[in-house]
Amino acid sequence: MLDWLNVDAILFDVCTKADLLRLNLSAAERRYVSLLDKKSSGLGKLALVHTKRNIFMHALSLETERLLFFEDDVRIEAASPLSIVEQIVHLWHSLPPRWNYLNLGRCLSYCNKQRSLGSGLVQDLINLCTHSIVLDRTAMSSLLQVFANYLLPMGDDLLLAHLTSRGALINIASDRPVFDQDRLHITSTLHLNGSPEAHLAPDTCANLPLQQIFARNYHLLHEHFELADPTATRQTVPSLENIFRPLMSEDIVW
């Protein structure tokens, strides 16, 4: 399918749990693993962070303007290449003047708070599937800073959600996912928990009980939500310090 897409380079870099065991992890990374081990595989989550960190750093070093990023659970083989290209071209020509992050396979989105942009596009506060995304340099740079300085105990998709839900990054998505996930063969937190729903792709929209869980467990609080204006070429955005420093307080129990 990639033969149909006009790409400048293909970057492939996977950090595994075995790789991490050979590294001297920082104090922040050790804390991250320890806290996440209470719920899932902390080392596995950190391996995902390292994988994306390495690819983002390499992409930025090549002066890449945007990165099309696929994870291993994307169902590329089930897609029609011509149909996929037509959909992406249609969406691409309809993008607003300002955006940082385009999700082509969104899931668990806050659909009740999304902004319709027409032509099959929406602006999301939060969407959690990152198996097929496009990031610009601002998004990659911001995530690298978060990984380095604000590594809170949550998956990289939830760290990204804090950026998009606070207006630091503009999150655009295809209303209907272009790419689906392969949950039958690729493991996930649901697989680790032995959930009978593990083989099912997540719903596109997060229901209110799920949103309450995200608020309680990950401090994605509605009172802090802000949709940035994708048509404004100049707009003040909150700093990473203002977003994440309060969440690093000792008063917050993870």
Asked if residue 30 lies in contact with residue 105, where contact means CB atoms within 8 angstroms, the answer is no
- Please tell me the distance from the alpha carbon of residue 101 to that of residue 194, in angstroms, as a whole number: 32
| Contacts by residues 139-145 (CB-CB < 8 Å, ≥ 24 positions apart) | 139/100, 139/101, 139/163, 139/169, 140/56, 140/59, 140/60, 140/67, 141/56, 141/60, 142/100, 142/168, 142/169, 142/240, 143/52, 143/53, 143/56, 144/53, 144/56, 144/57, 144/60, 145/240
Check residue 195 and give its pLDDT. 54
Q: How many residues does the chain have?
A: 254
- Please tell me the distance from the alpha carbon of residue 9 to that of residue 44, in angstroms, as a whole number: 27
Tell me: pLDDT of 46 over 60.
yes
Tokens 């300085």 found at: 149
- Please tell me the distance from the alpha carbon of residue 86 to that of residue 92, in angstroms, as a whole number: 10
pLDDT (tens digit per residue) in 155-212? 999 999 999 999 999 999 999 988 877 766 555 544 444 455 555 667 889 999 999 9
- Give 219 or 249, the one with higher predicted confidence: 219
DSSP bridge partners of 116 = 122
Q: What mean pLDDT is predicted for residues 16-42?
A: 90
Cα 6-7-10 angle, rounded to 5 deg: 150
The pTM of the whole model exceeds 0.85: yes
Q: What mean pLDDT is predicted for residues 61-70?
A: 89
Asked if residue 177 lies in contact with residue 84, where contact means CB atoms within 8 angstroms, the answer is no
- Non-local CB neighbours of 21 within 8 Å, separated by 6+ positions: 43
**HSE-up of 158 (CA within 13 Å, CB side)?**
18
How would you classify the pairing of strands 101-103 and 171-174? parallel
Check residue 89 and give its pLDDT. 87
pLDDT class of 14 with cuts at 50, 70, 90: confident
Asked if residue 129 lies in contact with residue 106, where contact means CB atoms within 8 angstroms, the answer is yes
| Helix spans in 93-249 (H) | 137-149, 156-165, 189-192, 208-218, 240-244
The number of beta carbons lying within 10 Å of the beta carbon of residue 217 is: 13
pLDDT (tens digit per residue) in 72-87? 777 766 667 678 888 8
Check residue 126 and give its pLDDT. 94
pLDDT (tens digit per residue) in 102-150? 999 998 999 999 999 999 999 999 998 888 999 999 999 999 999 999 9
